[in-house]
Structure 1
Amino acid sequence: MAEYKLYYFNAKGRAEIIRLIFAAAGQKYEDIRFEREQWPEYKQKAPLGQAPFLEVNLNGNTFKLGQSVTIARYVARKFNLAGKGEEEQAEVEMYGDQVSDFLNELVKVHFEKDETRQNELRKKFHEEILPNTLKTLDGKIAHNGSGYLVASGLTWADLFLVNILEWLGDKKEAALANFANLKALDEKVRSHSRIAEWLEKRPKTEM
Structure 2
Amino acid sequence: AEMPADLLQLDGQKHRYKLYYFDIKGRAEPIRLIFEFFRIQFEDVRIKFEDWPNLKKKAPMHYLPYLEVDGGKLVLSQAPAIMRYLAKTFRPGFAGQSKSDSALVDMYGEGAFEMFDVFKTIGMTPAEAREQALADARPRLEIFCETYSTHLKKNGNRYMDGDLITWADLVTVFVLSGLDDLANRILVRYPDLCRYYLRMRDIDELREYITANWKATTITLKD
* TM-score, normalised with respect to structure 1: 0.84
Contact 2:179/2:187 (CA < 8 Å) preserved in 1? no
- Asked whether the 8 Å contact 1:166–1:172 carries over to 2, the reply is no
Matches within 5 A, 1:24-173: 24-57=37-70, 62-80=73-91, 81-111=94-124, 121-126=133-138, 128-145=139-156, 147-173=158-184
Q: In structure 1, what is the equivalent of residue 211 of structure 2?
A: 200
For 1:69 and 1:15, the matched residues in 2 are separated by 10
* 2:196 equivalent to 1:185: yes
Per the TM alignment, residue 146 of structure 1 is displaced from its structure 2 partner at its CA by 5.2
Give the CA deviation at 1:39: 1.9
Q: Structure 1, residues 80-104: CA drift from partner, whole Å, max 9, x if none?
A: 3212121101110011122123223
The verdict on how the C-alpha distance between 1:17 and 1:149 changes in structure 2, with shifts beyond 3 A counting, is same
* 8 Å contact kept, 1:146–1:153: no
Contact 2:21 2:64 (C-alpha < 8 Å) held by counterparts:
yes
For the 8 Å contact 1:165–1:172, the answer to whether it is kept is no
Q: TM-score, normalised by structure 2?
A: 0.79
Q: Distance in 1 between matches of 2:184 and 2:124?
A: 23
Deviation larger for 65-74 or 5-14? 65-74
**Aligned mates of 1:121, 1:40 — CA distance in 2:** 28
Gaps in structure 2 of 5+ consecutive residues: 1-13, 216-223
1:21 has 2:39 as partner: no
Gaps of 5+ in 1: none
- Counterparts of 2:75 and 2:29, CA distance in 1: 18
Cα RMSD (Å) of the superposition?
Answer: 2.4
- 8 Å contact kept, 1:54–1:65: yes
